[in-house]
Structure 1
Amino acid sequence: MKIYKRFLDGMPEYLARYYWWAYLWQKSVWFFDHQPIINAILFGQYKKLMQLTMQQLEHTDHTRVLQLTCVYGMLTPKLIEKIKPSPLHITDVAPVQLRLAASKAAPASSLIKTRMNAEYLGYKDNSFTTTILFFLLHELPIEARENVLSETMRTLSDGGTLLLTEYAELPKKHFLYWFFPTRWITTKLEPFLNDFWHENLTKKLNIQAAKHGKQASLISHTDIFSKFYRVTTYKINKR
């Protein structure tokens, strides 16, 4: 029996198959949720990425904020502190990740957690004023990525904000890309990253937004680490 099949219960097949070792195995959850590990994975850029993400929240409506899927590190408690007294909504398909997020929330009432697949959210249309996607999209197969973007557009209110922190578009000139060993390792660990690198995210986002009578306008974009990462903010409005 293949190891990943032990983690299939209630999980998307791609998540169990390709990421069980990073997000679903209890021992790995403990291991990866340490600052030096997270920083190493992001080539020393974690602090800068998180700081810039938090800065973008200065200009958003904190009435109903959704963090779409859990992340390692201090992002969740910092978001809780930033938007209080409003609670932070967070959803993830993996119970082990939700437990980890809850352990960082004090008091418990500051975090409203739900278990959902990000492709098929149970929230009503226009539920949130701000949604944060922190290094989620590149970990999704193309169809799943389109579904998540569609659900994100559906659940964001008119005038709402989408905040994306991600890999940048294809970084052809970056040494981590043109140096074959690092590109090979990165794409082996992140099997859907190469497709994501080649996508026009603004165009794809608006294709999904149009399905819900909305449009996404780019209002802020910052490249980080010589255009290897990005922090991008979109304003969502009715068409």
Structure 2
Amino acid sequence: MTGSASRRQLMENELLDRAAALFAERGFEGTTLKDIAEAVGITRPSLYHYIKSKDELLGMLVSGLTETAAAELAEMEASELSWSERLTRAVRSVTLRICAHPSRFRLLDRSEHILSESFRRRHQAGKRAILAHLSAIIDGGIKSGEFWPTDGRVAAFSILGSCNWVAWWFRPDAPGAAPEAVADQLALMALRSVARTDRASVPVGPRAALAAIRADLEYVERHLPAEGS
């Protein structure tokens, strides 16, 4: 990535974050482009170098949060990894994306009704694709014998619900915030919810194994008696 492209990406990220905060505080209709420009620290004419309208900002959110996530899950579904590793990586990918920008996710979730028709169709198509790819990964694990027989679509809804809820409680700027740890734990919980009981004790893949070790260590630390007791 060239320096110019990198600067543009940084500015677009700043615009999305500031706009998401303003939309949440004042509402979409109550926020002007001038408000967004002032929040970023540039003039309104300079703002037009990056975006032309508030609708374009919502479109960027759809692209960055929904469509990119769907594309990543499609790649994981088509990979040659075990189904357990594919599920682990898919959940980590979705969770880390939300942890990076929870305010953007909350805004898009709340603002779907004000998206233009074209953006709304793109957003809904992206959400359907995410569900379809995750369902396919779970169904693949069932057919291979790695996962116990279940309704893959219901399981996918449950797992995605856990991931999406992160946007409402995770704060990237909080002391000790650890996106990787959150992603690892949710991935492990997802895997254990569908893995066959006779195989669940043996996580598949390095990420799953590491997450299992961390979870076990945290459990032991929480239940160790205090020193001197």
Report the structure number with the largest CA radius of gyration: 2
More helix by share: 2
TM-score by length of 2: 0.25
Higher RCO, Cα 8 Å, sep 6+: 2
TM-score (norm 1): 0.24
